[in-house]
Chain A
Amino acid sequence: MKRKLAIIFLLVIISLQIFNSFAIQRFPKPEFESGHTQPPTITPDPRAHALAILDVFVLVAALSVVSWLVIKKRSRKGVFWMSVFAVLYFGFFREGCVCSVGSLQNITLALFNPEYSIPITVIAFFILPLVYTLFFGRTFCAGVCPLGALQDIFALHPMPIKSWLEKVLGIIPFIYLGLAILYAATSTDFVICRYDPFIGFFRLDASFMMFMIGAMLLLIGVFIARPYCRFLCPYGALLNLVSRFSKKHITITPTECIQCRLCEDSCPFGAIEKPVLLKDKEARPIAVRRFLILGIIIPVLVIVGGFVGSQFHENLAIVNPKVRLANELLNNTNYGETEKEAFEITAFNSAGQSKEELFKEAGSIIKQFYYGGWILGGFIGLVFGLTLVSLSVFKYREDYTPNKGTCLSCVRCVDYCPVLPISNDY
C-alpha cells in the first residue's frame, strides 16, 4: 500500500516536471523511535593554513641559499641539489600550486577585478623572486622554480642553436605573457595554469594530451636545454627584463677574463656573449642611419601591431564563457549539440538572468577585449622592434660574459674557466 502511494506520488511529481527545484523539504525529517541517532555531515578540513605560510618561508630560504650558492660559492653542485629539492618540495610535495609563474595571473586579476581578494602568500610568490632577481640575477630560475628545475635535470645533452633563432624564439614568452595578462585581466581564464605542461608529472595525474606535451618538452629538453624556460615561460620574460638591471650577477670568470675561449660553448642555453672588439665597431654614419631607421620602424610596428590586435578582439573574446554563451544564444547554435539542450543554456535558463542583461555584460567584455587587443598588439609590435634592435646593434664588450637577461644563473660555465680565484690564504 505504502509503496503504491509512493509510486503515485512519484508519478505526480514527474508529471509536474519539478526538476532542479533544490532542497525542498518534501518529506519531513523522521522522528526515530528506535533511538537511532542521525550521523553528522562530514566536512573534511582543507590543508592547514600554516602550510601555506611555511611555503613562503621555504621560498625565501631557497632563494637565499641559491643566491648565495650562485654569487658567493659559485657552486654548480650546490645549485643542482637545490633544484632537486625544488622539484621534490614545490613539485611533488606541494603539487605545483601556487607557483610564481601562475601567480602573475592572480596579481593581474587582483589589479583589474575589485571583487577578487588575493591571499598574501600569492603576492609573496610573485614579488619575492623578482626582488631577488633584481639583486642577484635569475637565481630563482637556477634552482627554486620547480618547472625549471625539472627541465634542468633533463638537460643531459644540450646542443647549441643559432643565436638569431634563439632571439626570435625568445619573442614567444612575451606574446604568451601579454595573452595571459589579457585573459586574466578580463577574468576569462588562467591560460598559464591551463597549459602548464609539467604539473601533470608533479601530481602524477593529467589528461593524456597534457601528459604527452609535457613528455615531449622534456624529451626535446634533453637536446635543447630547458625549452619551456627559454621559449615559453611568461614569468621568465618578466625575470629576463628585471635581471638586466640586477645589482650583482654571476660572472664566468672569478677575476679577469683571459680570452681563452674555453667557456665559449659551455652554456646550454646559449646565454654567453662573445666579445665584440673595437675593430668590429662600425663607422659612425652607418650607426646613425640605422638608429634613424629603427626610430621609424619601431613606432610603425607598435601601431600596426595594435591595429592587428584590435582586429582580432572578437576571436580573442570568444574564449570568455559569458561572451561564448551570448554568442550561442544569439545565433541559436546550442553549443553544436543537436540531441538535447546544452548544459550551459539549461543553466542560464534556470539561473534567471535575462538575455538582455547577459548581452549587455558580454558587450562590455568584448569592449574590454577591443582595448586589450590594441594594447596587446602594440606590446607585441614593440617586442618585435626591440628584438630587431638587439639583432642589429652591437654593444662593445671585451670579455666573455653571460647575457644578464637570458642567463639562468645555473653556474655551469664557471667550471670551464681556467682562471683561479684570488685566494684569501695569501
Chain B
Amino acid sequence: MAKKEKKKKLNRRDFIDRGFRVSIGIGLVGIGGVLFKKSKAKEYVWQLDPEKCIQCGRCATSCVMTPSVVKCFHVYDMCGYCDLCGGYFRPEAKNLTTAAENQLCPTSAIVRKFVEEPFFEYDIIEELCNGCGKCVKGCGAFGNGSLQLQVNHRLCVNCNECAIARDCPADAYQRVPMDNPYIFSGYSNEENKS
C-alpha cells in the first residue's frame, strides 16, 4: 500500500519534472534561435578609433596585459619624414639630436633614421612601446598625424570585455570584425595593400 502510494507520488513528481524539462529545453532552443538569427558567424576583436582618441594615456595603464598591447603604429604613407618631428622630440628640446633627454617617448621606442637631406624616417620598436600615446599627441598636434595608437592583435588576448574600453574617456573602443581589425585615421589599409 505504502509502496504504491510512493510510486504514485514519484510518478507525479516525474511528470512535473518532465514538464519543466521540456519547457526549459524549448526556452533554450528559442533563445538560441532568436540570437542565431541576428548573429554573425564573424568573430570580433577590440579596436580603438584614432579619430576619437584624445591620447589620455590610459591605454598604457588599463590593459590587462603589462605592458599594454596597445602600441603606436606608424602609417608611413602619411608621414612627412620631417626633420623636426613632433612625435619624436619634446617641444622644449634644445637641439635635434637623438639624446634621450630630447625624446618625447619615455621608453625611447622610436628610432630616428636619416634617409636623405632633409628627410628622416621614424620606426617604432614594438617591444619598447607601452602605448602611452605621447608621440601620437605630438605628431597629431605638430605633424601629419601619422603616428596612431592601435591594439596590436598579435598581442591582444581579446578579452570578452576590453578593460581599456570601459576606462577610455573618449569612448573610442569598439568591436570590429576580425578580418579587418585596424582603424587608421586618414588612411585605409585595404587600399594600400595591393
Contact = CB atoms under 8 A, between A and B. Distances in A.
Contact of A344 (B28, B157, B169): B169
B97 interface: no
B54 interface: yes
A43 interface: yes
Contacts of A25: 78, 80, 144, 186
Contacts of A43: 73, 181-182, 189
A46 B144 contact: no
Interface stretch (A102-110, A365-373, A374-382, A410-418): A102-110
Contacts of A284: none
B76 A46 contact: no
A223 to B, nearest CB: 29
Contacts of A14: 91
A6 B153 CA distance: 37
A207 to B, nearest CB: 8
Interface stretch (A83-91, A114-122, A269-277): A114-122
B84 A7 contact: yes
Contact of B84 (A6, A242, A321, A343): A6
Interface size class of B (residues with CB under 8 A): 35 or more
Most buried by B among A30, A99, A114, A190: A30
A347 B17 contact: no
Interface string B48-90: 0011101010100000111000000111111111111010000
B102 interface: no
A134 B27 CA distance: 12
B36 A123 contact: yes
A421 interface: no
A219 interface: no
Given A42-B73, A117-B39, A23 B145 contact: yes
B34 A111 contact: yes
A321 B142 CA distance: 31
B96 interface: yes
Contacts of B181: 43, 45-46
Given A119-B42, A127-B28, A189 B66 contact: no
Interface string A212-244: 000000000000000000000000000000101
Given A29-B80, A193-B159, A121 B43 contact: yes
Contacts of B140: 19-23
Contacts of B121: 36, 39
The 6 A-B pairs with the shortest beta carbon distances in the complex, nearest first, are A27-B80, A23-B186, A44-B154, A347-B170, A46-B153, A23-B145
25 contacts: A2-B83, A20-B54, A22-B185, A32-B116, A34-B115, A38-B76, A42-B73, A46-B43, A49-B43, A97-B160, A107-B31, A111-B34, A118-B38, A119-B41, A120-B36, A120-B39, A121-B43, A130-B28, A199-B64, A203-B157, A205-B66, A247-B21, A321-B171, A344-B170, A347-B54
